[in-house]
Amino acid sequence: MYDFIKIGFLEIEALDILDVLLVGFLIFQLYKLLKGSLAFNIFIGMLLVYLVSLAVKALGMKLLSGILGQFMDVGVIALLIVFQPEVRRFLLFIGRGNIFKKGGVWKAFIKKGLNIETSTEEAIDEILIALNNLASTKTGAIIVFTKTSQLRSYANTGVVIDGKITSKLLESIFDKKAPLHDGAIIIAENKIIAANCVLPVSDNPSLPARIGMRHRAAVGMSEVSDALVVVVSEEKGQLGYAKEGELKIKVAPSTIKNELKLFLTHGV
């Protein structure tokens, strides 16, 4: 391959530039994935240790270089353990195949997609009716919407429903006197999969101190999966949602409706 740029002894080829751009893109995606979490601080710490190990190796400090080298040898395993939720989110992001969604390979399924979208519109309408009624009565609720899987490991912590989405059913499940009202509902493929499900709670230190366990569970679920999680505050009857580890509170019903449409029909 011909040299693209030559500066003294430094030769830069087109492939080198592509390499740098791809690495920069991956680092940016990692930043977006980890920002605002404890894992981000750990990642920075590991990066600093790696840079120091390169520096001491270049300076010929054999003892310190050997110690840091041993530390870095087990670093990959340590990172997989520490960043397990983030790695899962990253793999789910890739597995969702966002770059292929507009490709011609899906055009053969347009008719099927239209049928799903019609059903989804009906489901969204029922969900919005339930959310508005729950908010007006200050009835706490948390609903998990998943596109790529039914989150069986979390659904198994609750009671299997496998029923049609209706506003009456959603409201009855979250009724304060109902036995299933404390946990979360998981919705997939336009069906209520399970209720009274236990969700992971986020340990993100940047979350507002005033939010309750429902909101923390919503963020936690969005951190370990590609789910969209909608919350109704029991204290003030306000709507909110969590997606990709980020929490939005005090949002309008129209905003929830738009998010549900984007997520359930386009997976974003």
The residues spanned by each domain of the chain are 5-100, 105-266
In sequence order, what E strands does the chain have?
5-7, 10-12, 141-146, 159-164, 184-188, 191-197, 228-232, 239-243, 246-251
Answer with the residue of higher pLDDT: 109 or 54: 54
Distances (CA, A) of 112 to 55, 109, 116, 238, 239: 57, 5, 6, 36, 32
In contact, 204 and 38? CB cutoff 8 Å = yes
- CB neighbours of 190 closer than 8 A, spacing ≥ 6? 116, 119, 120, 123, 165
Work out the pLDDT band at 104, boundaries 50, 70, 90. very low
Element (H, E) at 41: helix 38-58
Question: Is a pLDDT exceeding 50 seen at residue 118?
Answer: no
Residue 56 confidence (pLDDT): 84
Residue 165 confidence (pLDDT): 94
Mean pLDDT for the stretch of residues 197-210? 89
Question: Is a pLDDT exceeding 90 seen at residue 240?
Answer: yes
Class for domain 105-266, per CATH? alpha beta
The DSSP secondary-structure symbol of 108 reads G
pTM of this prediction?
0.62
Mean pLDDT for the stretch of residues 136-152? 86
Residues 257 and 132: their CA atoms lie apart, in Å, by: 11
Tokens of 104: 């011609």
Instruction: DSSP for 186-198, please give it.
Output: EEETTEEEEEEE-
Residue 127 confidence (pLDDT): 96
Question: From the CA atom positions of the chain, what is the Rg in Å?
Answer: 23
